[in-house]
Amino acid sequence: MTLLELEGVRKSYEDEDVLRGVSFAMDRQDVEVIVGPSGSGKSTLLRCVNRLTEIDDGAIYLDGEEIHGIDENDLRRRVGMVFQDFNLFAHRTARGNVTLGLTAVLGLSKPEAVERADDYLDRVGLADQADSYPAELSGGQKQRVGIARALAMDPELILFDEPTSALDPELIGEVLGVMRDLAEGGTTMLCVTHEMGFARSAASTLTFLDDGRVVERGPPEQLFENPREDRTRSFLGQLTDLER
Amino acid sequence: MGLALTGTAALGVCDWAATTGNPPLQTGDWAFVVGNWEVLLLGTLVTVLLTATSLALGFLAGFPAGTVEVYGTGRLRDAVSTAGVLLRGTPVVVLIVLFFFGLPIPRLLTLPVLDVRLDVFLAATLALGFRSAAYQSQVFRGAIQSIDEGQLAAARSVGMTQRQAIRHVVFPQAVRRSIPGFQNEFTIVLKDTSVAFAIGLAELLTRAENLYLQPGRDTAIMEVILAISAIYFVLTFTTNRTIDYLGDAYAIPGGDE
Amino acid sequence: MTDGETATPGSDPTETRGTTVGDLPGRRRLAVLAAGTVFWTWLLARWAYHNSLLDGLFTALGFPDLIRSERGVRQREGWIPAEPFGAAADAVGTVAAALGPAGVLVDWLRWVLDLAAFATTTAPALASGAFVTVYLTVLSMLFGLVIAVPLAVARVYGGRALRAVSLAYTELIRGTPLLAQLFFLYFGLPLASIAEDVGFTGQPPIPRAAAAVAIVGFTINSSAYQSEYIRSALQSVDPGQLTAARAVGLSKFQGIRYVVLPQGLRFAIPGWTNEFVYLIKYSSLAAFITVPDLFRQARNIGSETFQFTNIYVVVALFYLALVLTTAIAMGRLEDRVAIPGVGQSGPRE
């Protein structure tokens, strides 16, 4: 059952066309991974989905409803986001980062919010760091708080914008571990990432985006083993070489 | 001063306005302001002059003081930083009256045309100047400290002495970086020259008061004050823009990082 | 004056009135702390001793003579007698005379003792002036903050028109001298007589009309400066913070209210301290619109005793005590509300 559908999405900044008609659809519980060279419009695409960026043309449907017909705060409540550089609220503890949306947006009472926050922090393995401030956490811990913050809102879809790119190599594993658990647990995820291992093992669909267009899209095995396009082959080949 | 004032007041074109007891902001009162443009011009000159001398003194004393605070040691550094705290912790009006009454400045001549007593001007310059030095030293200190230590290490590594390295590598960068702080200091000093009112120095604000204190002129208070405020504003605004421009013109790419 | 973004809050001196009082060398800082404690104990006791509300209270309780609010400012007596200092000064003077030319070396001691004797006799009047200075400053800072926060938010997040209005207000206020602003309000506008008509008759705790005008003037003036500090602090909050707040579903207003302001206001504390210190000092200009503050009391004593230098040295010490204790107290406040990673200089994530 289709949860998210993009139809000919276009976006340009000044003279630069960042997205030149992107269309695809994903179902509930899908894990869609988008890969592509830097500047290919991946991050912009994600931001269009929760309207942090407005599209110029085309349409985006969430559960059959065009997102520009949805109140933007409501849309963002339904679509969570995890950022490359975490963007944790610097003045709030790990717990406070999770509870803010619960109290201010969902209208939960403070005890309810705290209970739920602690539950989600426990899920990402940070129950013992609930009272720490972002500056006291490692990068991997920060990103796990970021994931808990998005998860706790009980969104229909979570967007991951290169969630491991700002991490030291030894910290990437803990974040990918949490993401794998989510994928297996049936969370609908739309991820931009360079982690080919994760893409290969966890993605239900892999999309190769280049120059603002979908070049190739299909099951990860197909794109890695038997890509139809040369560009896909050379791009994925490069990345996989790097991993070895 | 009395002579100069009555002289110009006689030129006032709106004596009728005062006698009829006009409410504020009547054209007559503006005409009074316009008619006394010479008085305001002289006041502006004194204000600008006092700003210039005070800033110059502030720079001459403040630059070495800031350097001492960074590179100095022991008693000298303690003395400089304590003097700075004392000057920055005392209201400018107290400093001005203290310098005026406390320093044994002999009664000097009165400058012609400007109609300013030199000893009063000197006291105001010393007070505003040393206070500005205390602030400028902090601007320079901050600028020097903001220069990456690697710069000094690099200079030493090509064989410069500490002194040479500071002189040729640190200072040129620090001076550029202190432009915004200096600009800020300029604005403060310009506005604070008005406090020399406390010792009767015939700068812009004092002259303005003398204008509306003339008999029958109290209706023009608002107009006179608005006029001099506009003058102060134009002075701060235009000078700031000029310094902005200079800062851009002499900027080094990446030099602010 | 430029709108450039700043990396570290408070490091943007273009928008400020200058650097803080600064740090005293280690041991002197302790000395200031000790002297400051003594000073404030004495000052609070002085204020209490002549406070009419307390007088009423204690009179009702059966101690009519404990508090002396009925005594006029000039009739108040010091608690420390001046005679010993005077006597010591005379003694030193005799020694100095005996030493002949070398007497110059001890002469400064005589001056210090004379000054101390003078200070003890003038202290009660200065204490009452200090009370006016403190309430002018504190009230104006608080009222100013109430205006400054929306001004700064309008400047950073407002639409074109709001930004322009906020910019014009701050530039006009910061581009003209405070003394001219006070004159405008007091002599130019009939504010004082309006205040009197409304009922500012000077009955405590309502200040006299002139003081009310001074508070209006200082509030307007400090709101412009405070808003500059807050604006630059808001701009130093990472834009990703607001993006993240919006991504969770908070409205822009909520994002500013719950995420940007709590961080920005912490960044603004050093600047706010600066402004507080500045206002303590600049409140002395209220003397020129007849407000009986610390400086005006000093000026009055000066013109009665003709000891201008001495009284201005003493009043300078009063201001220094107020300013330095405020700076230390605000430093404590900053430590208290500090959150790891927020508001400290140094790398932030």
Res. B13: pLDDT tops 70: no
Looking at chain B, the whole-number percentage of residues with pLDDT higher than 70 is 87
Of the listed ranges A157-171, B100-114, C162-176, the least confidently predicted one is B100-114
Looking at the structure, tell me whether residues C52 and C145 fall in a common domain.
Answer: no
By CB neighbour count within 10 A (0-12 exposed, 13-18 middle, 19+ buried), where does B128 fall? Answer: buried
For residues A121-134, average pLDDT: 94
Res. C191: pLDDT tops 90: no
Domains contained in chain A, CATH given: 2-243 (3.40.50.300)
What pLDDT score was predicted for residue A94? 95
Q: Which residue would you say has higher pLDDT here, C12 or C220?
A: C220
Asked if the structure places residue C147 within a domain, the reply is yes
Distance CA C188, CA B205 (A): 14
Looking at chain A, the whole-number percentage of residues with pLDDT higher than 90 is 76
CB-based contact, C17 to chain B, within 8 Å: yes
Would you kindly state where each structural domain of chain B is located, as residue ranges? 2-249
**CATH code for position C176:** 1.10.3720.10
| Chain C partners within 8 Å of A142 (Cβ) | 349
Residue A243's pLDDT band, with cuts at 50, 70 and 90, is: low
For residues B149-171, average pLDDT: 82
Residue C100's pLDDT band, with cuts at 50, 70 and 90, is: confident
The answer to whether B136 and B59 have CB atoms below 8 angstroms apart is yes
CB-based contact, C111 to chain B, within 8 Å: no
What pLDDT score was predicted for residue C15? 38
- Outline where A62-154 has alpha helix (H): 72-78, 94-104, 110-123, 139-152
Asked if the structure places residue C96 within a domain, the reply is no
Distance CA A125, CA A143 (A): 12
Distance CA C285, CA C319 (A): 13
Res. C22: pLDDT tops 60: no
- Contact between chains at A90 and C263 (C-beta distance less than 8 A): yes
Looking at the structure, tell me whether residues C239 and C146 fall in a common domain.
Answer: yes
Residue A244's pLDDT band, with cuts at 50, 70 and 90, is: very low
Collapsed DSSP state (helix, strand, coil) of residue B253: coil
pLDDT (tens digit per residue) in B76-95 = 998 998 899 999 999 999 99
What pLDDT score was predicted for residue C65? 67
Nearest to B195 by CA among B89, B99, B104: B99
DSSP B32-89: HHHHTHHHHHHHHHHHHHHHHHHHHHHHHHHHHHHHHHHH--HHHHHHHHHHHHHHHH
Q: Which residue would you say has higher pLDDT here, B166 or B31?
A: B166
Alpha carbon of B159: minimum distance to chain C alpha carbons (Å)? 31
Collapsed DSSP state (helix, strand, coil) of residue A155: coil
Residue C124's pLDDT band, with cuts at 50, 70 and 90, is: confident
Residue C308's identity, in one-letter code, is F
What pLDDT score was predicted for residue A151? 94
What pLDDT score was predicted for residue B14? 38
Cβ under 8 Å to B: C residues 18-47 = 18-25, 28
What pLDDT score was predicted for residue C9? 35
Asked if the structure places residue C297 within a domain, the reply is yes
Q: Which residue would you say has higher pLDDT here, C55 or C179?
A: C179
For residues C1-9, average pLDDT: 33
Looking at the structure, tell me whether residues C149 and C294 fall in a common domain.
Answer: yes
The ipTM assigned to this model is: 0.82
Among C240, C340, C341, select the one facing A83 at the smallest CB separation. Answer: C240
Q: In what order do the strands lie in the sheet with A16-27?
A: A16-27, A2-13, A57-62, A65-66
pLDDT (tens digit per residue) in B182-205 = 888 999 999 999 999 999 888 898
What pLDDT score was predicted for residue C7? 34
Looking at the structure, tell me whether residues C299 and C184 fall in a common domain.
Answer: yes
Is B2-249 in CATH node 1.10.3720.10?
yes
- Interface contacts A/C by beta carbons within 8 Å: 86
Among C244, C249, C339, select the one facing A91 at the smallest CB separation. Answer: C339
**Beta strands at A57-62 and A2-13: parallel, antiparallel or unpaired:** antiparallel
Number of Cβ within 10 Å of residue C91's Cβ equals 12
Domain range enclosing C56: 23-71
Asked if the structure places residue C306 within a domain, the reply is yes
Res. A5: pLDDT tops 70: yes
What pLDDT score was predicted for residue C114? 83
pLDDT (tens digit per residue) in C231-269 = 999 999 999 999 999 999 999 999 999 999 999 988 888
Among A81, A100, A133, select the one facing C341 at the smallest CB separation. Answer: A133
**Chains B and A touch, contact meaning at least 3 pairs of CB atoms under 8 angstroms apart:** no
Asked if the structure places residue C80 within a domain, the reply is no
User: Which residue shows structure tokens 């200072």?
Assistant: B171
pLDDT (tens digit per residue) in A52-67 = 999 999 999 999 999 9
Res. B17: pLDDT tops 50: no
Asked if the structure places residue C118 within a domain, the reply is no
Looking at the structure, tell me whether residues C51 and C163 fall in a common domain.
Answer: no
pLDDT (tens digit per residue) in C143-186 = 999 999 999 999 999 889 999 999 999 999 999 999 999 999 98
For residues C271-277, average pLDDT: 90
Collapsed DSSP state (helix, strand, coil) of residue C305: helix
Looking at the structure, tell me whether residues C64 and C154 fall in a common domain.
Answer: no
pLDDT (tens digit per residue) in A220-234 = 999 988 899 989 988
Distance CA B235, CA B171 (A): 29
What pLDDT score was predicted for residue B11? 34
What pLDDT score was predicted for residue A11? 93
Terminal Cα distance for chain C, rounded: 28
Number of Cβ within 10 Å of residue C69's Cβ equals 16
Residue C162's identity, in one-letter code, is L
Q: Encoding tokens for residue A123?
A: 């899920």
- Give the distance from CA A124 to its chain's centroid: 16
CB-based contact, C244 to chain A, within 8 Å: yes
What pLDDT score was predicted for residue A24? 93
Of the listed ranges C14-18, C102-106, C114-118, the least confidently predicted one is C14-18
- Looking at the structure of chain C, the number of domains it has is 2
Distance CA A67, CA A55 (A): 11
Collapsed DSSP state (helix, strand, coil) of residue A62: strand
Looking at the structure, tell me whether residues C67 and C131 fall in a common domain.
Answer: no
The answer to whether C229 and A82 have CB atoms below 8 angstroms apart is no
- Interface contacts B/C by beta carbons within 8 Å: 153
Among C21, C183, C308, select the one facing B85 at the smallest CB separation. Answer: C21
Distance CA C201, CA C217 (A): 19
